[in-house]
């Protein structure tokens, strides 16, 4: 099958979160299973500066945006270590900016226009490429108009009318909501601006549009697929989602073990380790991390880590409250890497400044450091309010770093709480709690620290986690099945 991935992020071109990991690794896994994926994405400044070789194709196109015509051009590259072609839409006014979606906590004012342009460029490019695509796989709100265009403006013409669409929700909370007059930018008829399709409380809603129009819809874990059917995690879209419940699927993300593997990790240098050498290997990585972060070098103190967007979603209010208590009395070290909301920059920065012996905070985006934290930490905290899938817990399991998570979304699907039964069966891999409170997080951390002190049990937890396979080999095949189903549904719709 020829599958076109329309996305705004793909590692190593650009990434702000899990979307980038998924769109950089799933196509490789699909190619390994005999499929023919192609990626198309905006030529953001990050992608231009990523070091990936880019070439011009000579293809230019003109896109109607409201009353004006905007010119773009097509660049070509390739996903490293694969044959997967990557096309990039270059339009400097829209995409040559400091960030992908906004700066200093504010979205770019013209985001609607930017991503209308991107979506219509994708459709223009489909016509100019020789390849006949079978499925257009769209990712998150920035690409969500594509299924709508296929069903409306482009429905009666080749090559678009044969193209089936799958829309994957990576995070339902980021919807792309714009004032209703932006509808004019889309070029679509106002008749679609209704409560079943594109309109949401008087606004134009991209996420709703994608869900309403795609042949099939998926999200990134089975539990999140259930959770988004009801408030609060439905984020107001429960009606639309319930209407599509027969067409909604939950497929767990995979980890890219070419990138995230302690036995080959290029960011660990000589300190790589595997399941056989984990005990000494982790001690070396832990000591190195403690030195790098300016913490006291001590193998016996539990080293707790967090890497992620500093957003409410990730539970940083709980983390900050627990840290405030723990730095006073508990013997633990904290390493935090993240960027995001100013309030968390402030509170975490202050905690680090006041407790340099126990807390190290890096308010930046550093892939290298993220890898060394996974290798050097004892525990990895993800007390998320909600978590569509979560990737860091999968990386943690691979690195023998015990995840401490709130049992929601993909975290509930991938981490097994340590209790007498799960331990006896050899299935325990981490620590889970249900209630979203700092007390529950603190209690669970205390439970984890008690286990940490028992080297035999801790070793068992580490080894059970490291031996698991959370690579795409579990899930890529499920996507292929879903692509087939998506095509079948599309053919059915065309016949009707
Ligand atoms: P989300 O997509 O909601 O941000 P995920 O857990 O699915 O969360 O994926 C986050 C990805 O982004 C992981 O690969 C994580 O390591 C990475 N990441 C997040 N923040 C940072 C940061 N400050 N530095 C390096 N990597 C980061």
pLDDT at 274: 98
For residue 260, count other CB atoms closer than 10 A to its CB: 23
The Cα diameter of the chain in Å comes to 69
131 pLDDT above the threshold of 90: no
344 CA distance to ligand 1 centroid (A)?
16
Closest CA to 24 of 77, 74, 73: 77
393 pLDDT above the threshold of 80: yes
Q: What percent of the chain has pLDDT over 90?
A: 96
| pLDDT tens-digit map of 2-48 | 999 999 999 999 999 999 999 999 999 999 999 999 999 999 999 99
Determine what percent of the chain falls in helix, strand and coil, rounding each to the nearest 5.
Answer: 45, 20, 35
Question: Cβ distance 113 to 179 under 8 Å?
Answer: no
341 CA distance to ligand 1 centroid (A)?
15
Average pLDDT over residues 253-261: 95
Closest CA to 178 of 195, 201, 203: 203
Distance between CA 129 and CA 59 in Å, rounded?
9
185 CA distance to ligand 1 centroid (A)?
32
Probe residue for ligand 1, chosen from 9, 12, 15, 17 as the CB with the greatest number of ligand atoms within 8 Å: 17
Name the pLDDT band for 104 (thresholds 50, 70, 90).
Answer: confident
189 pLDDT above the threshold of 80: yes
| pLDDT tens-digit map of 236-248 | 999 999 999 999 9
Question: Cβ distance 2 to 38 under 8 Å?
Answer: yes
Domains of the chain: 2-254+473-495 (3.40.50.2000), 266-469 (3.40.50.2000)
Average pLDDT over residues 63-80: 97
Record the pTM: 0.95
Question: Cβ distance 444 to 432 under 8 Å?
Answer: yes
pLDDT at 336: 98
Average pLDDT over residues 261-289: 97
| pLDDT tens-digit map of 366-391 | 999 999 999 999 999 999 999 999 99
130 pLDDT above the threshold of 90: no
User: Which residues are 102's β-sheet partners?
Assistant: 107
Distance set, CA 421 to CA 72, 343, 418, 426 (Å): 59, 41, 8, 9
pLDDT at 284: 98
Where does ligand 1 bind, in terms of residues with CB under 6 Å?
A: 17-19, 21, 171, 307-309, 337-339, 365-367, 370, 389-392
Name the pLDDT band for 205 (thresholds 50, 70, 90).
Answer: very high
Containing 404, the helix (H) or strand (E) segment is strand 402-406
Tokens of 484: 């087939």
Distance between CA 4 and CA 86 in Å, rounded?
10
Probe residue for ligand 1, chosen from 392, 395, 396, 401 as the CB with the greatest number of ligand atoms within 8 Å: 392
pLDDT at 474: 85
pLDDT at 185: 98
pLDDT at 349: 97
309 CA distance to ligand 1 centroid (A)?
6
71 pLDDT above the threshold of 80: yes
pLDDT at 341: 93
Mean pLDDT computed over every residue of the chain: 96
| pLDDT tens-digit map of 416-452 | 999 999 999 999 999 999 999 999 999 999 999 999 9
pLDDT at 27: 98
310 CA distance to ligand 1 centroid (A)?
10
Distance between CA 280 and CA 271 in Å, rounded?
10
Name the pLDDT band for 99 (thresholds 50, 70, 90).
Answer: very high
311 burial (CB, 10 Å; 0-12 / 13-18 / 19+) is middle
Distance set, CA 141 to CA 75, 138, 147, 207, 445 (Å): 23, 9, 11, 5, 36
Q: What is the DSSP letter of 14?
A: B
């Amino acid at each position: 099958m020829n599958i076109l991935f329309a996305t705004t992020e793909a590692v190593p071109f650009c990434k702000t979160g899990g979307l980038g990991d998924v769109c950089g690794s799933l196509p490789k896994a699909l190619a390994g299973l005999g499929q023919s994926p192609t990626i198309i994405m905006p030529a953001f400044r990050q992608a231009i500066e990523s070091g990936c070789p880019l070439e011009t194709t000579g293809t230019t196109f003109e896109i109607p945006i409201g009353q004006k015509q905007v010119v773009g051009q097509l660049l070509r590259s390739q996903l490293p270590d694969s044959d997967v072609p990557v096309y990039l839409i270059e339009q400097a006014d829209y995409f040559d900016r400091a960030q992908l979606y906004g700066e200093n906590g504010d979205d770019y004012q013209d985001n609607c226009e930017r991503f209308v342009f991107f979506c219509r460029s994708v459709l223009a490019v489909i016509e100019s490429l020789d390849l006949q695509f079978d499925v257009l796989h769209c990712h998150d709100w920035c690409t969500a108009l594509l299924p709508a265009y296929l069903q409306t403006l482009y429905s009666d013409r080749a090559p678009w009318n044969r193209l089936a669409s799958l829309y994957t929700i990576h995070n339902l909370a980021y919807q792309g909501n714009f004032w209703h007059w932006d509808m004019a930018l889309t070029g679509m008829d106002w008749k679609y601006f209704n409560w079943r399709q594109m309109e949401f409380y008087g606004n134009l809603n991209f996420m709703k549009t994608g869900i309403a129009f795609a042949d099939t819809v998926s999200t990134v874990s089975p539990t999140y697929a259930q959770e988004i059917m009801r408030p609060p995690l439905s984020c107001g879209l429960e009606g639309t989602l319930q209407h599509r419940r027969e067409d909604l699927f939950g497929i767990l993300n995979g980890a890219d073990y070419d990138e995230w593997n302690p036995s080959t990790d290029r960011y660990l240098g000589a300190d790589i380790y595997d399941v056989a050498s984990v005990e000494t290997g982790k001690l070396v990585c832990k000591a190195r991390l403690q030195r790098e972060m300016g913490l006291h070098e001590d193998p016996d103190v539990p080293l707790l880590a967090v890497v992620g967007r500093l957003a409410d979603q990730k539970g940083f209010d709980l983390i900050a409250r627990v840290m405030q208590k723990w730095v006073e009395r508990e013997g633990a070290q904290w390493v935090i890497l993240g960027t995001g909301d100013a309030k968390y920059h402030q509170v975490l920065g202050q905690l680090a400044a006041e407790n340099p012996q126990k807390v190290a905070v890096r308010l930046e985006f550093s892939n290298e450091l993220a890898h060394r934290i996974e290798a050097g930490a004892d525990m990895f905290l993800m007390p998320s309010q909600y978590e569509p899938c979560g990737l860091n817990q999968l990386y943690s399991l691979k690195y023998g770093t015990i995840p401490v998570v709130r049992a929601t979304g993909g975290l509930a699907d991938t981490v097994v709480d340590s209790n007498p039964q799960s331990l006896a069966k050899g299935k325990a891999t981490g620590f889970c709690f249900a209630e979203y409170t700092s007390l529950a997080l603190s209690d669970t951390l205390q439970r984890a620290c008690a286990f940490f002190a028992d080297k035999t049990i801790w070793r068992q937890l580490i080894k059970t986690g490291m031996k698991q396979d959370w690579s795409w080999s579990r899930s890529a095949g499920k996507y292929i099945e879903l692509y087939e189903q998506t095509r079948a549904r599309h053919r059915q719709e065309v016949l009707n």
